[in-house]
Structure 1
Amino acid sequence: MSPIFKKSYKFAFKSSFYISFFATVCIFGYHYFFTLSNLVYPVVFLFVLFGFSFFVIQYRVEKFIYRRVKKIYDDVSLLENTSFRNQPITTDMATLTKEVKKFARDKKLEIETLKIKEEYRREFLGNVSHELKTPLFTVQGYILTLLDGAMEDKTIRKKYLQRAEKGVERLIYIVKDLDMITKLEVGDINIEPSRFNVVEVVQNVFDLLEMRAAKKNITLSFDTFYKQPIFVLADQDKIQQVITNLVMNSIKYGKTGGTTEIGIENLVDNKVIIRVTDNGEGIEKQNISRLFERFYRVDKSGARSEGGSGLGLAIVKHIIESHNEKIYVESEFGVGSEFSFTLEKAK
């Protein structure tokens, strides 16, 4: 704080002036009525009394305010706000009020952020426990049934072991996805860009998921026939995982007999945009902002019956952002959804 004339000085100045003026008038009146001689003494007395009053009032006011303001600073410093505690103590009320209001706003924002993080932590732990609990209990149930005597029947033994194996595979899938998203969030996974044909990668994904799509009679296709390869610069394995996750989601939430279509378009001179469009269930507007959260599911029951870790879209978002690219989503409930992301063109 560096005002030209502190407000406490102004207060002391005015107070001193009033006191000095009153005292001088009294003395001047005394001399006028009783001596009527020399006016020098009243004037000298005016300045002496003014100076004395000014310094006494200024000192006492600053000391009075300083003690109370210092207590405020000391109380605030207990909250360990370093930026506030390290500021010089001011006795100017306007500055102090401004600083305290700023401190209160910052603390309110900090508390709100902590509440959001705490809610997110609770929700995350609940989702993790739910995702792990289902396959664990499934595996445990089949193993206990076998131990209780069903193991003697070779047919039941084989069937239950196969089902237990699927539960273990689901657990491994969830743990792998958790490991990957953790590494993505802390930056432990390196992106290794290379030049590759993204049309070929999309076709590989279609071939991989063809049987899964056929179970719901969903058609996987390009929006047009691409005669020429389209080369991009990115991590091929991770971009294939992005496309795989998006297509798997479109199958999971797609309508029986529906379609999933992928288009690749030039966005600007050095960018392409890849669109994954389906005519499935669509997403309600209030859910769109949370789609990329870990374990967030639009359909809490149906999605789990379809399997998956609940981390697919969160992984997609982190992979795309680790390439310094953008991902977008547009959806209309009951009509379908479109996920799109950008990639850098390769020369």
Structure 2
Amino acid sequence: MFDKKNLSPQQLSALTALILSIPISIGIYVLQQDWKDGLVAFVIIFTGSYFLVFSIIQNFIFRKIKLIYKFINQTKATKKEEMYYKYILPKKSIDEVREDVENWAEQRSREIEILKNNEVFRKEFLQNLSHEFKTPVFAIQGYVDTLLQGASENPEINKRFLEKAAKNVERLVVLIRDLDEISKLETGEIKLLKQSFVIQDLVKEVFENLSWKAEQKNISFSFKKGCEKPLVVFADREKLRHVILNLVDNGIKYGKADGSVIASMYDTDGKNVLVEISDDGIGIPEKYLDRIFERFYRTTEGRNKDATGTGLGLAICKHIIEAHGHTLHVRSKEGVGTTIGFTINARKE
């Protein structure tokens, strides 16, 4: 049965031949008054019309369609593709071909949009990279030039400027080290040394290491009530320590004075442990939440508040957690605080 909206070339040829042969054969029958002549005329006209129309469709319409498909594939046809063009494509209806082209156009549109976004990110990345390198390099250049112009003769100025230059050199070293670590994480060059350990013990170590920094703003550390029970995870301890250290450090940096940084851990399903670090600081505007894990990306408020960081901390954390097969997540509200967390594999049986 014909589907008028989805005709194959054969069906379209047959329908066209039928439309041509019926009135002509009826006319011959009326003129000759002989049904045999009418029947013979119908068969001849139908057969001739069918092959003529089918040949036109094959040689003209579907030849053009084949070119469209080859353009879509953007390659010289392989033997497999030639087989497809010869035997499968002609069985497709015009509507099916249209759908294929529309799907291809939609896919290309998405790819173009991705390329545009990547180009924007690339430009921002280069701008931020330039900014991060430019600041310490220009500072070092200024101190060295001053010393070369005679300031080195003054021992006090000499020492002070060399110390400042050394700090900026250290900042460059940290920046290059962080970039190198991200690159190695992305390419899989850094292998994870997984082991079982209690996640609360690791967080306590981080709290102790950063206690001096928290005391400067009178920020307290604590575990959320109900999260004291030891939970064993299976992960690279040092890499996870780097993640938690960065998250707690951010909690101090962007937290309010006399505030708190709270760690919470939950056994989610027996297979994964959820770890979250929360602060009650300035929070992150919603429009920035999707981008805080990008390299060098910092909100305007964050850049003004943190002039010493490399802007790679959260990007490195993201890659470390992804290397473990999990993802980072963030919840935040301006003026209320921020919670950043991740899941990690529970104890390996």
TM-score, scaled to structure 1: 0.86
| SS of match in other structure, 1:289 | helix
Letter in 2 for 1:127: N
Structure 1: runs of 5 or more not aligned: 33-37
The answer on 1:28 being equivalent to 2:29 is yes
- Equivalent in the alignment of 1:68: 64
Q: CA deviation at 1:95?
A: 2.1
Letter in 1 for 2:39: V
Q: CA deviation at 1:132?
A: 1.1
Structure 1 residues 47, 169: closer, same or farther in 2, change over 3 A? same
- Equivalent in the alignment of 1:35: none
- Equivalent in the alignment of 2:120: 119
| SS of match in other structure, 1:301 | helix
**Correspondence 1:312-323 to 2 at 5 A:** 312-323=313-324
- Residues 159-191 of structure 1 show CA distances to partners (whole Å, capped at 9, x for unaligned) of 111111110111111111111111112222111
CA distance in 1, matches of 2:44, 2:24: 11
CA distance in 2, matches of 1:224, 1:56: 83
The answer on 1:242 being equivalent to 2:273 is no
| SS of match in other structure, 2:265 | strand
- Residues 142-163 of structure 1 show CA distances to partners (whole Å, capped at 9, x for unaligned) of 1111111110110011111111
One of 44, 51, 54 as aligned partner of 2:50: 54
- Equivalent in the alignment of 1:302: 304
Q: Which has the larger radius of gyration?
A: 1
Structure 1 residues 49, 184: closer, same or farther in 2, change over 3 A? same
- Residues 266-309 of structure 1 show CA distances to partners (whole Å, capped at 9, x for unaligned) of 4343443333221211112222221211111122532442x111
Structure 1 residues 70, 340: closer, same or farther in 2, change over 3 A? closer
CA distance in 2, matches of 1:227, 1:67: 72
Q: Would you say the 8 A contact 1:142–1:164 is kept in 2? A: yes
- Equivalent in the alignment of 1:205: 206
Q: Would you say the 8 A contact 2:70–2:77 is kept in 1? A: no
- Equivalent in the alignment of 1:232: 233
Structure 2: runs of 5 or more not aligned: none
**Correspondence 1:251-290 to 2 at 5 A:** 251-290=252-291
Structure 1 residues 7, 198: closer, same or farther in 2, change over 3 A? closer
Q: CA deviation at 1:262?
A: 2.3
CA distance in 1, matches of 2:228, 2:303: 42
CA distance in 1, matches of 2:227, 2:10: 80
- Equivalent in the alignment of 2:146: 145
| SS of match in other structure, 1:233 | strand
- Residues 223-266 of structure 1 show CA distances to partners (whole Å, capped at 9, x for unaligned) of 46998754332111111111110111111112223222223344
CA distance in 1, matches of 2:94, 2:231: 66
Structure 1 residues 7, 156: closer, same or farther in 2, change over 3 A? same
Letter in 1 for 2:253: K
- Equivalent in the alignment of 1:343: 344
Q: Would you say the 8 A contact 1:231–1:345 is kept in 2? A: yes
119-128 vs 190-199, which moves further: 190-199
CA distance in 1, matches of 2:54, 2:229: 85
Letter in 2 for 1:308: G
Letter in 2 for 1:235: D
Q: Percent identity?
A: 36
Structure 1 residues 127, 269: closer, same or farther in 2, change over 3 A? same
Q: Would you say the 8 A contact 2:182–2:316 is kept in 1? A: yes
Structure 1 residues 194, 14: closer, same or farther in 2, change over 3 A? closer
Q: Would you say the 8 A contact 1:280–1:337 is kept in 2? A: yes
Q: CA deviation at 1:316?
A: 1.3
Query: How many residues of Structure 1 are paired with residues of Structure 2 in the alignment?
Result: 337
TM-score, scaled to structure 2: 0.85
- Equivalent in the alignment of 2:10: 9
Q: CA deviation at 1:221?
A: 3.6
**Correspondence 1:34-49 to 2 at 5 A:** 39-49=35-45
